[in-house]
Amino acid sequence: MAETRLVEMKGISKSFGAVKALQSVDLELRHHEVLGLVGDNAAGKSTLMKILSGVYAPDGGEIFMEGKKVKFASPADSRRLGIEMIFQDLAIVPNLNIAGNIFLGREPVKSFLGIKILDKRKMIEESRVAVGRLDVDIRSTRLAAAGLSGGQQQAVAVGRAIYFNPPVVIMDEPTAALSVKGIKRVLELVHELKERGIAVILISHRLPNIFAVTDRIVILRTGKRVAEKMTKDTTAEEIIDLMVGMH
Amino acid sequence: MIDGLRKFGQFREAPSLVALGGIVVVSSLLSPYFFTGTNIKNVLTQVSIIALLAEGEAFVILTGGIDLSLGSVLALVSVLVAGCMKSMNMPVYPAVLVGLCVGTLCGLTSGLLVTRVRIPSFIATLAMMAIARGLALIYSKGVPISMFPPEFRIIAKYVGPVSVLTLIMIAMLVVGQLILSWTRTGQYIRATGGHEEATRYLGVNVDRVKLFAFSFSGFCAAVGGVMLTARMDSAYPNVGQGYELDAIGSAVLGGISFTGGLGSVGGAFMGALVITILGNLLNLLRVSGFYQYVFKGLILAVAALSLSRGVKYAK
C-alpha cells in the first residue's frame, strides 16, 4: 500500500546559464520524518531546497504535496502551503523589530476606517509567545533585531518558521556559524520539531549532525541524486564516498 | 540624565533635532528679523516644497534606492499643469489631476526601469532626470508660462497665519508617515531596504514595493510642482534644478540611512527645515547665496558621520 508522501519532487532540473545545477532529481519527504540532504559544495542541495521553498522556479520537473500537484510562483505560495525555511544566514531583517521579523510577509492586520493597518499589539504579543517557547532570553519583541546575539537571532528565525505550525521545515546549514552550544541547541530543536509532528529536511555537510538526528539520507553529487540510505543502516565513510564519488 | 541623553541619541532623528535647535538659536541671535511673524510665515512656505520632495526621496532611499529625478519631474508637472490651464483652457482641477498623474507615471517608469529592466536606481533616475527635463523644455518651448486663473492661485493663499501650501505639506507628511508606520507596504519598504534578499525569500513582492516607492516619490514631486507653480504664479521649465540635492540632503540629515531601512518622514521634514532655515538666515544676513552650498555640504557630512556611528547590522 503506497502511503501519500508529504512532499514529492519528481525530475527536478535547473540550470543557471550554462551551469546545470540540478539534473532530473527526485526527492520525497514522508510525514514526520527527518530527512538529511547531503552533498559536497555545489552538489545542488541549496538549489533544490530553494526550488521547494519557491525562491526559484524549476526548469523541468514537478512538485507534489499530499499527492496534489503544486506550482510556486513565489515563496509566498510555498509558505502558504506550509513549507517553511530557516536560511543559512537566518534572513533576519536588522532594522525591523523581533515582532516584525517573525511576521514578515504575513502580518496580522485590522481594519481602521476601511483601511487595513498592522495589528501591532497582536504582533508584539504573539511573537513574545512564539519566542517564549524557545527558551531564549528576549525581554521584548519591540527590540530591533539588529541588537540581538547570534542565539537570539536564531530563535527569531526558528520562531518565524514554526509559528504557523507548518508541516514542513527546511533547515539550510543551520549550524554553519554556531558555537558548540549553539549546535547542540539546533539538534535539540530538530528533535522538538519531530515531536510536534513537523517533517524536517536538514541540509548539512556536517555528518555528525546528520547522524545525530535524521531518519533517512539522500545524497546529491554534481546536480544528480546518487543514493538514498536509511541513517541507521549506513556509516559516515559510506556517505562520504557517495558524496565524493569513489564508490 | 546621561542615560536619557544616550537614549535620545539612539534615535535617527536626534542629529536633525539638535541641528534644528541649533540653527534656530543661532539665527535668532544673528538676526533680529528671524523670529518675526512674517519671517516664520516665509520659512514655512519655503520649506513646504522641499519637504514634499524630501518625503518622496525618503520613501525611495528607505527601500535602498535613490531618486535623482525629482527636480525635473517637478518642472515637467509645473509646465504641464500651466500649459493645460493656459493653452488648452482646462479647468483647474482636471489640469492639476493631469499633472499629478504624469508625475506619478514618471516615478512608476523609474521604478519599472529598476525592477523590470534591472538598471540601478542611480542610473535609472539619472536618465529620468534628463528625460523629464527635456520633455518640460520641449513642451514649454523653453519659455515660462504665467498668469493663471484665480481658482488655481488659491493654493498659494494664506488661511489666517498659515498658507494652503503649508497645510498641503502637513497633510502629505502625515499620510506618508502613517503609510510607513502602520501599513504592510510601509513595513515592506523598510524590510526591503534593510535586507532585500531576506524579504524576497520570505515571499514579499519586493518589485511591487519598489514600484510603489518610486511612484509615490513621483507623486510627491508632482504635488511639489503644483505648489511651486501656484506660489510663483509661473511655470519655468528650468525650475527645480538642484532640488534633488536638497531633497537627498534633507533626508540624510533627517536620519534616513543611505543603506536603506532606517528613518522616518518626520526626520526628513526636520532636515528640510534645517536646510530651509539656513538659507533663510543667509538671506536675512545678506550673505551671498553661494555660501549656502558650502554650509549645506558641511552639514551633510557631519550629519552622515554622526549617524553612521554605533550602527550595528546583523548581516
pLDDT tens column, A23-70: 999 999 999 999 999 998 888 999 999 999 999 999 999 999 999 999
Q: How many residues does chain A have?
A: 247
Task: Give the distance from residue A237's alpha carbon to the nearest chain B alpha carbon, in angstroms.
Answer: 35
pLDDT at A3: 67
Categorize the per-residue pLDDT at B138 as very low, low, confident or very high, splitting at 50, 70 and 90. Answer: very high
**Is residue A138 over pLDDT 80?**
no
* CB-nearest partner of A95 from B201, B203, B261: B261
* A114 assigned to some structural domain: yes
CA-to-CA distance for B133 and B69, rounded, in angstroms? 9
Same domain, A106 and A66: no
* B115 assigned to some structural domain: yes
Share the mean pLDDT of chain B: 90
Name every residue in B having a CB less than 8 A away from some CB of A. Answer: 182-184, 187, 190-191, 193-195, 197-205, 261-262, 311-315
Same domain, A222 and A171: yes
Which residues make Cβ contacts (< 8 Å) with residue B72, sequence separation at least 6?
A: B128, B129, B130, B131, B132, B133, B136, B240
User: What digits encode the pLDDT tens for the residues B67-124?
Assistant: 999 999 999 999 999 999 988 888 999 999 999 999 999 999 999 999 999 999 999 9
* Dihedral Cα B292, B296, B302, B304, nearest 10 deg: 180
**B314–A90: do the CB atoms touch at under 8 Å?**
yes
Same domain, A153 and A73: yes
CA-to-CA distance for B266 and B176, rounded, in angstroms? 9
What integer is the mean pLDDT of B238-262?
89
C-alpha cell belonging to residue A120: 501591532
* A2 assigned to some structural domain: no
What integer is the mean pLDDT of B134-162?
89
Q: Which of B71, B107, B50, B3 is nearest to B254 (CA)?
A: B50
* CB-nearest partner of A79 from B184, B193, B203: B203
* CB-nearest partner of B201 from A87, A95, A116: A87
Same domain, A169 and A126: no
The neighbouring-strand residues paired with B162 are B159
The chain A residue lying nearest B189, using CA atoms, is A96
C-alpha cell belonging to residue B178: 502613517
Contact A220, A43 (CB under 8 A): yes
Categorize the per-residue pLDDT at A133 as very low, low, confident or very high, splitting at 50, 70 and 90. Answer: confident
**Is residue A212 over pLDDT 60?**
yes
**B187–A79: do the CB atoms touch at under 8 Å?**
no
**Is residue B314 over pLDDT 50?**
no
* B26 assigned to some structural domain: no
Contacts of A116 in chain B (CB under 8 A): 183-184
Contact B233, B156 (CB under 8 A): yes
Name the domain count of chain B. 1
Same domain, A54 and A128: no
Task: Point out the domain boundary residue: A127, A147, A167.
Answer: A147
* B315 assigned to some structural domain: no
CA-to-CA distance for B169 and B148, rounded, in angstroms? 22
C-alpha cell belonging to residue A62: 514537478
Categorize the per-residue pLDDT at A186 as very low, low, confident or very high, splitting at 50, 70 and 90. Answer: confident
Helix (H, G, I), strand (E, B) or coil at A229: strand
Domain membership of residue B209 as a residue range: 36-308
**Is residue B217 over pLDDT 90?**
yes
pLDDT at A50: 94
As for the ipTM of the complex, it is 0.90
* A1 assigned to some structural domain: no
CA-to-CA distance for B213 and B192, rounded, in angstroms? 11
**A75–B201: do the CB atoms touch at under 8 Å?**
yes
C-alpha cell belonging to residue A215: 531518519
Same domain, A61 and A157: yes
CA-to-CA distance for A228 and A88, rounded, in angstroms? 24
- The CATH number of whichever domain residue B76 belongs to comes to 1.10.3470
Same domain, A183 and A217: yes
* B9 assigned to some structural domain: no
Which of A153 and A11 is assigned the larger pLDDT?
A11
Task: Give the distance from residue B231's alpha carbon to the nearest chain A alpha carbon, in angstroms.
Answer: 34
Same domain, A47 and A111: no
C-alpha cell belonging to residue B253: 540629515
Strand duo B162-163 + B158-159: pairing: antiparallel
Which of A104 and B289 is assigned the larger pLDDT?
A104
Which residue, among A78, A93, A142, would best test binding to B if mutated, counting the most B CBs under 10 Å from its CB?
A: A93
Contacts of A104 in chain B (CB under 8 A): 187, 191, 198-199, 202, 204
pLDDT at B311: 47
What integer is the mean pLDDT of A69-90?
93
Contacts of B191 in chain A (CB under 8 A): 93, 95-96, 100, 104
CA-to-CA distance for B189 and B192, rounded, in angstroms? 5
Categorize the per-residue pLDDT at A2 as very low, low, confident or very high, splitting at 50, 70 and 90. Answer: low
Measured CA distances, A40 to A173, A204, A223, B159 (Å) = 12, 9, 10, 72
What integer is the mean pLDDT of A81-98?
92
Share the mean pLDDT of chain A: 90
* A229 assigned to some structural domain: yes
**Is residue B310 over pLDDT 50?**
no
Same domain, A169 and A115: no
Q: How many residues does chain B have?
A: 315
Q: Which of B35-44, B100-109, B198-207 has the lowest mean pLDDT?
A: B35-44
Same domain, A136 and A164: no
* B304 assigned to some structural domain: yes
* B28 assigned to some structural domain: no
What integer is the mean pLDDT of B159-167?
88
Categorize the per-residue pLDDT at B308 as very low, low, confident or very high, splitting at 50, 70 and 90. Answer: low
* B17 assigned to some structural domain: no
Same domain, A119 and A74: no
* A33 assigned to some structural domain: yes
Name the domain count of chain A. 2
Q: Which of A190, A194, A192, A159 is nearest to A174 (CA)?
A: A190
pLDDT at B312: 47
* B207 assigned to some structural domain: yes
- The CATH number of whichever domain residue A205 belongs to comes to 3.40.50.300
Same domain, A61 and A154: yes
pLDDT at B306: 66
Q: Which of B302, B277, B261, B251 is nearest to B13 (CA)?
A: B251
**A96–B312: do the CB atoms touch at under 8 Å?**
no
**Is residue A173 over pLDDT 90?**
no
Rg of chain A, C-alpha, whole Å: 19
CA-to-CA distance for A245 and A247, rounded, in angstroms? 6
**B187–A76: do the CB atoms touch at under 8 Å?**
no
| CB atoms inside a 10 Å sphere around CB A227 | 17
Helix (H, G, I), strand (E, B) or coil at B157: coil
pLDDT at B11: 78
> CB pairs below 8 Å between A and B: how many?
88
* CB-nearest partner of B202 from A94, A105, A148: A105
* Dihedral Cα A205, A207, A211, A213, nearest 10 deg: -40
Helix (H, G, I), strand (E, B) or coil at A64: strand
Which residue, among B177, B189, B195, would best test binding to A if mutated, counting the most A CBs under 10 Å from its CB?
A: B195
Q: Which of A167, A186, A203, A243 is nearest to A50 (CA)?
A: A203
**Is residue B313 over pLDDT 60?**
no
Domain membership of residue A115 as a residue range: 95-147
* CB-nearest partner of B194 from A53, A76, A93: A93
Task: Give the distance from residue B200's alpha carbon to the nearest chain A alpha carbon, in angstroms.
Answer: 8
Categorize the per-residue pLDDT at A78 as very low, low, confident or very high, splitting at 50, 70 and 90. Answer: very high
CA-to-CA distance for B305 and B225, rounded, in angstroms? 32
The neighbouring-strand residues paired with A83 are A168
Whether the CB of A145 is below 8 Å from some CB of chain B: the reply is yes
